[in-house]
């Protein structure tokens, strides 16, 4: 059954996030900060590993720069923030300004973390092309534990990342069904490497809070990467 991997993923995030929301408040502030720092360092390490999949870093750079320009033009990060704010007002209307900010941060951060990665890209494509959701099932278990850790510090906003999982991961699966036989291993590798840089940005900006980066505005880069891969071999001919 195509799409089953995404359904399993949503269930595990809801369970993990629910447990983290219920019991996270019992953790001392210093312990929560330590958990966030650990998640930040781990996230950056995962991003670095993903980037090593690239066989041509110039493709990643080009995708990132063009994608970032498009993302700024379309205001993707602002729209994610606005959507998170709408969810907060709709489902957590009694929260104060600090809690509202925490809700939005929890939603945006975990939406990006759960939706950007090699398992998301490759797993969704496998699910769409062959109906094999094994990789997404493994990702679901990991995301469940990650949701528990994130929700213990960022709160209930983490639970609403399932909306992004449904739209983005489910959309990739649908995309793969339509694109069977077109996506090559090189295209997938460059998509993964580009996603790795975005994951690093999440670690630096949202988790370790070292520098503010509008990571959401770089999302188009993931979809530009396979297009760049397809165009690059044709460049010498186009220049003649």
Query: Do 68 and 213 meet the contact criterion of CB atoms below 8 Å apart?
Result: no
Residue-range domain boundaries for the chain? 4-230
For the segment 177-216, what is each residue's pLDDT rounded down to a tens digit?
Answer: 877 677 788 888 888 888 888 888 878 887 788 888 888 8
Whole-angstrom Cα distance, residue 88 to residue 80? Answer: 12
Tokens 């990991």 -> residue: 142
SS3 20: helix
Tens-digit pLDDT profile for residues 76-135: 888 877 877 777 666 655 556 666 677 888 888 888 888 876 567 767 877 887 777 877
The residue among 173, 165, 215 whose CA lies nearest residue 195 is: 215
Q: How confident is the model at residue 164 (pLDDT cuts 50, 70, 90)?
A: confident
Q: Is the sign of the CA dihedral 46, 171, 12, 123 positive or negative?
A: negative
Residue 234 pLDDT > 60? no
Containing 240, the helix (H) or strand (E) segment is: none
Please count the CA atoms within 13 angstroms of the CA of 86 that sit on its side-chain side: 7
User: The tokens of 98 are what?
Assistant: 């600090």
């Amino acid at each position: 059954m195509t799409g089953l991997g995404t359904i399993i993923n949503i269930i595990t995030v809801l369970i993990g996030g629910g447990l983290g929301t219920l019991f996270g408040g019992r953790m001392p502030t210093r312990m929560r900060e330590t958990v966030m720092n650990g998640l930040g360092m781990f996230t950056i390490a995962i991003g670095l590993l993903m980037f090593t999949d690239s066989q041509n870093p110039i493709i990643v750079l080009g995708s990132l720069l063009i994608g970032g320009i498009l993302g700024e033009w379309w205001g993707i990060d602002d729209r994610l923030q606005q959507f998170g704010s709408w969810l907060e007002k709709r489902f957590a209307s009694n929260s104060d300004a600090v809690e509202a900010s925490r809700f939005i941060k929890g939603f945006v951060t975990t939406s990006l973390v759960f939706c950007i990665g090699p398992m998301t890209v490759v797993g969704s494509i496998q699910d769409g092309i062959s109906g094999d959701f094994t990789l997404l099932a493994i990702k679901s278990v990991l995301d469940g534990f990650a949701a528990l850790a994130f929700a213990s510090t960022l709160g209930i906003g983490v639970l609403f990342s399932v909306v992004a999982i449904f739209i983005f991961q489910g959309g990739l699966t649908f995309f793969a069904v339509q694109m069977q036989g077109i996506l090559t291993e090189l295209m997938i590798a460059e998509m993964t490497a580009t996603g790795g840089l975005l994951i690093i940005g999440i670690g630096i900006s949202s988790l370790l809070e070292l520098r503010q980066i509008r990571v959401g505005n770089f999302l188009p880069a993931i979809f530009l990467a396979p297009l760049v891969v397809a165009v690059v071999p044709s460049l010498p001919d186009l220049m003649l």
